[in-house]
Structures are given as structure tokens and as C-alpha cells.
Structure 1
Amino acid sequence: MKLPTGQQPPQPAGQTPISPARAATVNAAGADNPQPSARQQLDALQLANRQATLARVAEIINRQGQATSEVLLDVRGKSLLVEAAIGNTRLETGDWVKVMRAGNELQLMGKLAPAQETGIARALVQHMPWQQNLEGGLTKLLASLSQGLKPDPSPGQLPSARPSQPLPEAARQSIQQVLARLPASASLMPGSGRQEQPLQQIKQWIAESGLFAESRLVQTPSATLPDLKLAVGRVITALLTQQGNGPEHFNRLTPLASPELVQAPLNFPQASPRAPAQSANGEATTVGQMLRLLAGMLNRITVNQLHSQVLTARTGGDAPAPLSTLLLELPWVTPQNEPRVAQLRLEQYPEDRGTQEQQHKASVSEWRLSLAMDLDEAGPLHFDVALRQQSVSARVWAEKQSTLRQVNEELPLLRQSLTDLGLDVTDLECRRGTPQASATRLEHRLVDTRA
């Protein structure tokens, strides 16, 4: 059903109009499988007549050169199958469109222009298969300080046939700088969070995690900034210089990847399996292997940067979305000087406002923090904390029964510490197991996480 003659649909700002404008008719199933009528399906979406909303093209079905196509739309979190005649406008899975109810039909009013999220997602998917676990990478970097690296073997020569050589001085200094600034497990004692110095340390660790490397370079153009991502780059440059190679050689290397990050690249936070212990007398890594490992570590940090951008840029639909999301991994060292990694997810959610009058009031954000780590004796731990103005709630998950018992014994001290900070503790508990992870979906069919 076309729009009335001479009447063109309004063009949303920054969007591409569908031309010619056509109607999308809700598809009803046959008699063998009766489904709600078109009117019932539209009423279930709480969509009034002449009301417009945004919908995402979830799937295009039976598109075989016909004038009409079956399109599965994701409207307000619900799936709706429609028969659409859209003229010359090409729809792809993942596109966002503006639709308006006209009686018992949906009129396609316009197609949104490609969002910033699309380009970020494309860059993200290129790095995801080649991520190297930061804990395993840092372990090998630390071992290289004492073991050195072996030169790459000549064709037909075994790697063990050549003796290891000390690291270039520039690479050694960069690795030592990173290790010197990593937090130690003994640096934060119970109750120290109320002191100013530990809070400043935490801010420093987050700032130097590598997630903000580019923005820090813009503010302070210095190649010697203490930053994990920049330090990895300095080690790479030193190794390439020692071999007489330029940056183009590094770009041709295939990065090393960790299997668990290939199988579940977007689950965050999730404590990674413990990296195998590095023996002090073990065989040294070759320069080429170390460069591939460093490339995988750079990809891991880059994936966290791009993933944060995708989640922050994602808009549309009616489900509340975070105003901003940060995904970062914070390396730290044990008393035995062994690297470990804690995964942190920080999200800011807007106020849930129900009326037009409330929209003009000052909004109150809710901050949600998820932290996952795997401790030697306590095992995997997961923390979920929510802060809204002065109200805070926290939940701790522990896999080991002994750890669960110990955490429950410490909860009164945690409650008192939060109260001393002026916070109203609304909920505080510890549970056995792990929380159900919320899988991230990349739109535009770049990654199919439904398989």
C-alpha cells in the first residue's frame, strides 16, 4: 500500500529516505500454524496508529529477485515478520529503519545512514581472531629479561641450534618500566580504599592500562609515557631495530592468538585460564615468536578499545543502553612477581525517566562495575557493584566453597567500610558459582554469535 499521492514521508535528520515509499504488511501464518493477526501483533508492540519508531533489520528472507521480500524486524526488543516492497532502496541485515504504523500496516519512513558503530565494528572484527592473552604475554616478557631471546633460525636450522642473546637495552628498559609500575597484590590492604593514596594509585593503573594510549598521546606527545600499549610498541621497535627491520616487517607477521580468546572473544569480564608456568630453565623464545606474541598483545588491547567504542556508540531501540562503557584489563603481580590480569567493565546508565516532565530534571546516572580475577588460592572471583548517588549494592561470586565462606565472614567489614564512606548499602551478598555472562552481539552480520 503506497502513501497518498503527492505526500512524501518526512525525512529523518541525517537519514536516507526510502524511494519510492512503500508499506510493510505484517505477515500472518497459514491455517496450520495460526498466529495473531496483524492488528494484534502491532498492538502487542504498544504502537499506536500513526506512531513512528525505530526498527533493526534482523534478517532478510526469500529475497529472490521478487518485488517483495520478507523482512524480520527487531522492534522494541520483539521480532516482527513483515512483507515489504521497498522500491529501489537496498536493505541489509543490521540496517536501522524508521517505521510508522498506518492502520494494520507498517510504513517504512526512512533508512538511517550508516552509524559510526559500523566502521568501528569492522575494525574490531579484523583484530578479534588474533588476540593474545595479556597474562601469558607478560609472563614471557618477564622471562625474557633473564633468558634473553634467540635469533631467528636460518632456513633448515633448528631454533635450539643458536644461543640466546640479551634483550636490546631499549626493550629491557620498556619491560622493566611496565613491571615497575604494575600494582602488587600487597599494595592494597583491607580498609585502605578510604585513603587518598590508594585511590590515586587505582586511577593511575587504569590510566596506564593501554585503553587510553592514543588520547594520552594527543594530550602529551611523548613516546616515553608509562602506558602498557605504548610500552609494547617500544619493545617491538627495539627488536625490529636490532634485526635491521623496519615497521613494514612487523605488519607482515601473523600474530599469536590464545585459543580461549578465539572461542569467546566478546565475553567480558571473564577470568581467563591460568597461563602455564614459565620455567626459569625453559627454552628461550625466538625474536620472531616474541614479535608475534607482542602483535597478539597489541590486538588484545585494541579489541578492548574498539569493543568499548562499539558498546558506547550503540544507539537505537527502546531498551536502555549505557551512556558509556569501558572494558579494560589491569595487569598486576603476585608476591612471587608473577603477572596476573583483572578484567574490569565499567558502565554508566542514564536515569530511567517515565514522564515528559521528568525529562527536564537533572538526570541521575547509575554506575555499574564488574570485576573478574583468578587468584592462586581463592580461585575465580567476580564482583558486581552498582552505585546510584549515595546508594550502593554489591554481589560477590566465588567458585570455591572455602572462598565463599571467607568472603561471607568479611562482608560485615565491607559493609562498615562502605558506610564510613557515607554510602547507603542497600544489598550486599556473596554467591557460589559465576554470574551469567551477557554476550555482546556485533550487528551488521560481521560476527554471528547466535551459532
Structure 2
Amino acid sequence: MKGDMNIPPIPQPAPSSVRQGLVGGEVLKLLQPAEGLIKPGQSAQAEVLSLKQNDLSFQLLLKLTLASGRETNVQASSNFPLPLGTQLAVTQPSAGNLAISLQQALSSSVATLTRLDTRQLPVGTLLQGKVLTTQALAQPAGQPTVYRSLVTLLNSALSGTTLTLDSPLPLRIGSLLSARVDGPQSLEFVPLSGRQEQLAVAQQLATQQSRQGSLEGLFNALQKLPATADMPAELRASIDKLLAGLPTPYQLSNAKGLGDALLNSGAFLEARLLTGQTPAQAPDMKATLLRLIAQILPGLPSSTSFNPGMAASTQAQALPTFVRNALGMLGQVSAKPQPGGFPLPQRLLQNGEGEDSLENLLKLAAAAVSRLQSHQLSSLEQSGRTAEGGVLTTWQLEIPMRNAHDIVPLQIKFQREDPPEKQAQGKTESREIKDQLWRVELAFDLAPLGPLHVQAQLLRGNLSGQLWAEQAYTARLIESQLGNLRQRLSEAGLSVTDLDCHQGIPPQSGHTRLEQRWVDETA
């Protein structure tokens, strides 16, 4: 299916099928008749919880709030769709029916969107939804058929909202729909190739982010473990290996040390497994954390309040098969939703009664695994096609760095933007379009400098960079050293076109589009 879909204005008087259903006042038919559900002369408040289309009728799940305050759910059928979230006042003329007023039926469209706010959803925003209903509208003779559908949005700030759409072709009930915002009342259909996988990525990302905890919480707890702590020798060996593998700023300052840290950060564990490598062949932080969890579990008391089964199954069930495969093929991406936030915020879990208890260590280790998987899923979510048809590939990860006695998490995001294939292969296209555009972001909190954020992009050897420091002293210090930094970058063979430092944090936007550039290199 191709073409545009329109959001109609508030509908005019209801179609004849609705009016016919309203003549006798028996609009909603209870699937299971209930005698005396609503007393004569009284009414109840009803909210539409779900909507399902069955041939020519619609099945509703209603939550009734009776006059006594008691709540109950009932199933009913209707001759016309009532959007999710619709609030109604209903009466019960007979055991098998509920009645609503004509005015309520005509105003039910208020529960659906009749116009998109492009300040909230800018043009180009990708919306995803599930089709609830589809009906052919009556048209004058000779006019093309128009189908009206109710669609529940599954992403963006309007998640859970019902949208009314008019389209030239019927939308399959229950199908997942992807469309790009073209204007306040216009959407452009996006083919569904790979969209179900992307919805699952977004859902898993939300789940992982609710479970995750900052890496320094685990590593600080491990560093404080007394040497006399009673634990199995294998567990102690895994802890020592994990702590010994933390890189230092000096190691990350050279290409080989940085490359090893990136490869062993846990972001590429699934990719390495797909190629036949095993964690024993090369160190990997995520694999070591999973081994740590497996070694902690047998020592937990049976009465523990923490659900070890949930933590143990994190690595086995948190990522669907297609995500595990996709993590090994980040270069092969399809269109994606808007990017998630970077950096991930600090989230320290509260310690249990004993900071060195196995149960507390298990909680921290499971949260650390979820943290790493949040970065992996964010990489998938932020990889996609730009508005020009290019391919944007993202690698987001986190490296815990040892700085003296402190553990400093270093969050890193790489993005590579490849030009559209047809433009890259064209003989008359300029070289600028053919070249890849690289971006990198760094975020860390290094004492005594405080939180720092770096954004840079590289195109044809030309480097542009922006630095943000939250502390005024740090911003002034960096500003005074920008000349030296520019000179060192030039000595490395780069042409520095823009390099600035600001106090504060980078501007954030919940609707950043994939094709956005930090600096316009063509200016």
C-alpha cells in the first residue's frame, strides 16, 4: 500500500447505521446479559478500555463505575466504533442492553485526534500504531471509495491516543501501521518492512531502561568487598577479573587501548557469538557480568526477596532472537523511529541491608546488564534511513574507566551516515554527497571537572566539535586550551573548521530527526 492518509475534521452528523441503532435507545448490547446491573432511574459512568471490529459490529470492553462507587468490566457490542478512552454515561433499559444518548454518540469523535500539533510532532516524525477498525464511507456515485479507520498510536508523546484516518485503501484490522507526519492533517504511509521488529525494540528498550542501574554502583560495591568476605573461589576470581579489566585514561588515550575497550565493552557480545567466538577467547564485560550472575545465584538463600529467576533470565529472554541477530548486523538497517536520549542518566540503586551481601550484588549485576542492553537497543533504535535516503548506523556503549580510586563511566556514541546508493553511484554527483559523515559523542563526569559532553563530526577530513561543561570554571579552563587542542588535531592530519566550548548542557529535543546535523558543514 502506498499513498497518503488524512486525518478528517470532526465528523458531521453520524451515518445512518448509527441513527438506526439509536432509534430504540439500545445502542450497546451486552454479550452476557446482567439483570439489575444499573438500577432503574440511575446511570453509570463507562470508559471504553478496548475496541475490536467483528464484521459489521464492534466489540467493546467497558469499565463501569456504578453510583455506589463499585467498578466492574463488561463486554458489549455496538453498531459503530467508540474510540479508546471514550467516557460515556449509560443506563440499562433491559438486562441485555446499555443505552447512551444520541449526543454522546455524535461527540464520541472527541476522544480521537482530529488534528496533529506539528510543534509536538514535527513534520517528518514517524508514528506507529495498531489498526482497530476500518469502514467504507458512503460516497457520491462515481467518487472513489474512502475508508475510515481508528488507529491507536504506539509511540511518541501521544502513545495510547486514538487517531481517525481516511485512506484510499482499507487498512487491515489488527495490523501495525507506520506513517510519517506530512502536516497537521496528513500522514504518508511507510512500508511495514521490518517495522514489527522496531516496535519490539522500542518495547524492550523501555523495559530495560526501567531495570537498569549505573555501572559505578556495581563496581563501587565490588571494590568495597572485604578480602575476608565469605564467597566461592570462582566468584571471587570473576570479581577480580572484572575489576582488573577496567581501563585507565592512559590506556584509552591510544588507538589500540581504546579499540580493545570498545570491543570488550559488551556491546558486541552477540555479534561475536554469531561469528563463532566464545567469551573465553576474548574478554567481554557483559559476558563476565552474566557469569557473575550465574555464580551468585547458587549461594542465595531460598527466602530471598529478590527474584533470581528474573535476573538469571535477563540475558536469555530480554532480547528476542531478531534483536540478537540484528546486534551482529548493525550495518544492515531499515527505517527507524526517532533516536532515544544520550547519555543515559545516572541511576544508582539503593543498597540492601548488607552492601556486600550476595543478594545486593545480584541486584546490582542484573541492573548493570540491563544498562548495557539499554545501550545496545538504543543503537538499534537510532539506526535508520535519513530523509534523503541515506543509511544512519549507530553504536552506543559505555566503558567504566578507572581514574585513581574512582570508577568513571564513559558513555560513547558513534554514528556513520552513508549517502543514498543511487546518489553515491551517480557519475555526475559531487564528491561531498559520496563521502561518509561520522559523528561521535562522549559524556562523562570526571572529578574535579564535573560533567562534560563532547560532540564532534568528521567529513572529508574536516572536523567540527562542540564541548559543554556544566561548571563555569571547567568551561573557562577548556576555552583557554582550545588553541592547543586545535593544533594537536591539525598535527594529526585533520582540518578543524569549528571548535567551541559552552557552559551548560547540549540542547535536548524529544523530536530530533535522523537527518539532523550539529553543524552545517556546507555553510
Normalising by the residue count of structure 2, what TM-score does the alignment of the two structures yield? 0.56
1:222 Cα shift?
Answer: 4.0
Q: How does 1:149-164 map to 2 (within 5 A)?
A: none
CA deviations 1:334-373 (Å, max 9, x no partner) are 212x212011111011348699655697821111111011
Q: Which residue of 1 aligns with 2:178?
A: 95
1:123 Cα shift?
Answer: 3.2
Q: Which residue of 2 aligns with 1:112?
A: 192
Residues in 1 aligned to 2:378 and 2:194: alpha-carbon distance in whole angstroms = 18
Contact (CA 8 Å) 1:55, 1:98: kept in 2 or not? yes
Give the 3-state SS of the residue equivalent to 2:438 in structure 1: strand
Residues in 2 aligned to 1:62 and 1:118: alpha-carbon distance in whole angstroms = 17
CA separation of 1:111/1:219 partners in 2, compared to 1, >3 Å: closer, same or farther?
closer
Give the 3-state SS of the residue equivalent to 2:241 in structure 1: helix
Give the 3-state SS of the residue equivalent to 2:493 in structure 1: coil
Higher relative contact order (CA 8 A, sep 6+): 1
Q: Which residue of 2 aligns with 1:395?
A: 466
Q: Which residue of 2 aligns with 1:10?
A: none
Contact (CA 8 Å) 2:213, 2:346: kept in 1 or not? no
Amino acid across the alignment from 1:130: R
The range that moved more, 85-94 or 201-210, is 85-94
Whose Rg is larger? 2
The structure richer in strand per residue is: 2
Q: Which residue of 1 aligns with 2:381?
A: 310
Contact (CA 8 Å) 1:98, 1:110: kept in 2 or not? no
Q: How does 1:238-253 map to 2 (within 5 A)?
A: 238-243=295-300, 250-253=308-311
Residues in 2 aligned to 1:250 and 1:275: alpha-carbon distance in whole angstroms = 17
> Alignment length, in residue pairs?
349
1:225 matched to 2:282? The reply is yes
CA separation of 1:426/1:146 partners in 2, compared to 1, >3 Å: closer, same or farther?
same
Contact (CA 8 Å) 2:453, 2:505: kept in 1 or not? yes
Give the 3-state SS of the residue equivalent to 1:372 in structure 2: strand
Give the 3-state SS of the residue equivalent to 1:112 in structure 2: coil
CA deviations 1:125-168 (Å, max 9, x no partner) are 332311111111211122225463xxxxxxxxxxxxxxxx2x32
CA separation of 1:400/1:275 partners in 2, compared to 1, >3 Å: closer, same or farther?
farther
1:233 Cα shift?
Answer: 1.4
1:271 Cα shift?
Answer: 5.8
CA separation of 1:224/1:232 partners in 2, compared to 1, >3 Å: closer, same or farther?
farther
Q: Which residue of 2 aligns with 1:341?
A: 409
Amino acid across the alignment from 1:334: N
Q: How does 1:51-450 map to 2 (within 5 A)?
A: 57=127, 67=137, 68-69=147-148, 83-84=166-167, 86-87=169-170, 89-90=172-173, 94-96=177-179, 112-115=192-195, 116-144=197-225, 146=227, 148=229, 165=230, 167-187=231-251, 198-217=254-273, 218-223=275-280, 225-243=282-300, 250-253=308-311, 266-270=340-344, 272=346, 283-312=354-383, 314-315=384-385, 318=387, 323-336=392-405, 338-351=406-419, 363-439=434-510
Amino acid across the alignment from 2:178: D
Residues in 2 aligned to 1:120 and 1:335: alpha-carbon distance in whole angstroms = 37
Give the 3-state SS of the residue equivalent to 2:500 in structure 1: strand
1:266 Cα shift?
Answer: 4.4
Amino acid across the alignment from 2:417: Y
Contact (CA 8 Å) 1:57, 1:95: kept in 2 or not? yes
1:250 Cα shift?
Answer: 3.2
Contact (CA 8 Å) 2:133, 2:151: kept in 1 or not? no
Contact (CA 8 Å) 1:57, 1:92: kept in 2 or not? no
Q: Please report the RMSD computed on the Cα atoms of aligned residues, expressed in angstroms.
A: 4.5
Contact (CA 8 Å) 1:185, 1:335: kept in 2 or not? no
Residues in 2 aligned to 1:124 and 1:147: alpha-carbon distance in whole angstroms = 39
Quick one: percent identity of the two aligned structures? 23
Contact (CA 8 Å) 1:59, 1:72: kept in 2 or not? yes
CA deviations 1:360-398 (Å, max 9, x no partner) are 978211111110111121111111111112111111111
Residues in 1 aligned to 2:301 and 2:354: alpha-carbon distance in whole angstroms = 24
CA separation of 1:175/1:305 partners in 2, compared to 1, >3 Å: closer, same or farther?
same
Residues in 1 aligned to 2:498 and 2:172: alpha-carbon distance in whole angstroms = 51
CA separation of 1:402/1:64 partners in 2, compared to 1, >3 Å: closer, same or farther?
same
The range that moved more, 360-369 or 107-116, is 107-116
CA deviations 1:298-353 (Å, max 9, x no partner) are 111112112212222x34x72666521011111011212x2120111110113486
Q: Which residue of 2 aligns with 1:261?
A: none
Residues in 2 aligned to 1:186 and 1:384: alpha-carbon distance in whole angstroms = 21
Contact (CA 8 Å) 1:57, 1:72: kept in 2 or not? no
Give the 3-state SS of the residue equivalent to 2:225 in structure 1: helix
Q: Which residue of 1 aligns with 2:104?
A: none
CA separation of 1:55/1:134 partners in 2, compared to 1, >3 Å: closer, same or farther?
closer
Amino acid across the alignment from 2:282: L
Contact (CA 8 Å) 2:129, 2:178: kept in 1 or not? no
Amino acid across the alignment from 1:233: L
CA separation of 1:380/1:358 partners in 2, compared to 1, >3 Å: closer, same or farther?
farther
Residues in 2 aligned to 1:271 and 1:129: alpha-carbon distance in whole angstroms = 12
Give the 3-state SS of the residue equivalent to 1:394 in structure 2: strand
Amino acid across the alignment from 2:222: L
Contact (CA 8 Å) 1:131, 1:297: kept in 2 or not? yes
CA separation of 1:358/1:98 partners in 2, compared to 1, >3 Å: closer, same or farther?
farther
